[in-house]
Amino acid sequence: MKKLLFVSFLLSSFCILAQQTFVLNPAMVDPEDAENFEMLIEKYGKGMAKDAVDEGIIQGWAVLKRVQGMGKVEDEKINYLWVTIYESPKKYVNRKSWFNTEKKYGIPGDVLWGGIDIDRYGSFIYKTEKRYDTDLEGKFIIFNWAFPKNLNDAMTLADKISTSFKKDMKKAGMASWGMATRIIPQDSDLAPLFFWDSYENMEQILDHLMYKAVIKNVDQKLLDQLQEQLPDGWENRVVWEFVSRSN
């Protein structure tokens, strides 16, 4: 059975993790460099990530690109995102450097990446609270951020909702679902609660956003309670496409 990162990455399907930690690194890649950037990531980055997974440095890795034309133009400034998963906070804190093209391929990083214009926008660290994965390969993924009225109550509610739909995930084309809380940074203007929903195709993604897909059989009372917990709706929802991954 193929294991997927969050992104669709995990050690086993349908499981709850207590310590898994992941890092999101958003970036802006000049659109003129995008094709070359994706080629280099797939050709060189994926191999280095695979080595890091095999050596136990990381648990999974992916590079995502934002699906254009789904939102306000000004929100599309960040168009790529690195996702790196660690087995635990300890693994993250004691992480070793592994993204070294000169060591693996004999090509200095400044030579390989020097012609690509990339602006980076920090690191955002989360702790996985719960996740379910199937053996499907997700090609698209929704990231959802929220400011709940009560964090613990919202997580308890999400636990009930996800438990109710997990049996329908594969039939709905859902590869992965997860819930996480933010560790760093602790800024009050950043949503503390995070969810992801990964599917095989864009049609399923749109169905999910319309509360169909895997959600269609969820008890309406639970969904009403969710709306009560999120009186202002989602703080942000972004659809991404997988460029490359390794796990």
- Reply yes or no on whether the pLDDT at 14 is more than 90: no
Cβ neighbourhood burial of 47 (10 Å; 0-12, 13-18, 19+): middle
Q: What is the pLDDT of residue 73?
A: 65
pLDDT band at 120 (very low <50, low <70, confident <90, very high): very high
* Cα 247 from Cα 83, distance rounded (Å): 11
Q: What is the pLDDT of residue 3?
A: 42
Q: What is the pLDDT of residue 19?
A: 87
Q: Poorest-confidence range of 8-22, 45-59, 65-79?
A: 8-22
- Reply yes or no on whether the pLDDT at 125 is more than 90: yes
What average pLDDT does the segment 102-121 reach?
93
What average pLDDT does the segment 5-12 reach?
40
pLDDT band at 75 (very low <50, low <70, confident <90, very high): low
Backbone φ and ψ of 167, nearest 5°: -70, -20
Q: Report CA torsion sign: 80, 95, 180, 131.
A: positive
* Cα 57 from Cα 54, distance rounded (Å): 8
What average pLDDT does the segment 167-195 reach?
96
Global confidence as pTM:
0.90
Domain ranges of the chain: 21-246
Q: What is the pLDDT of residue 4?
A: 41
Q: Which CATH code is given to the segment(s) 21-246?
A: 3.30.70.100
Contact at 8 Å (CB) between 13 and 3? yes
* Cα 145 from Cα 168, distance rounded (Å): 23
The 10 Å Cβ neighbour count of residue 120 is 13
What average pLDDT does the segment 61-76 reach?
83
Q: What is the pLDDT of residue 74?
A: 63
What average pLDDT does the segment 132-155 reach?
97
* Cα 64 from Cα 152, distance rounded (Å): 29
pLDDT band at 209 (very low <50, low <70, confident <90, very high): very high
pLDDT in tens, 211-229: 999 999 999 999 999 999 9
Express as a percent the part of the chain with pLDDT over 70. Answer: 91
Q: Report CA torsion sign: 204, 205, 211, 217.
A: positive
Cα separations in angstroms, 176 against 9, 137, 141, 181, 189: 8, 9, 9, 17, 27
Of residues 176, 90, 86, 184, the one with CA closest to residue 137? 176
- Reply yes or no on whether the pLDDT at 118 is more than 70: yes
- Reply yes or no on whether the pLDDT at 17 is more than 80: no
Q: Which has more pLDDT, 14 or 237?
A: 237
Q: What is the pLDDT of residue 69?
A: 81
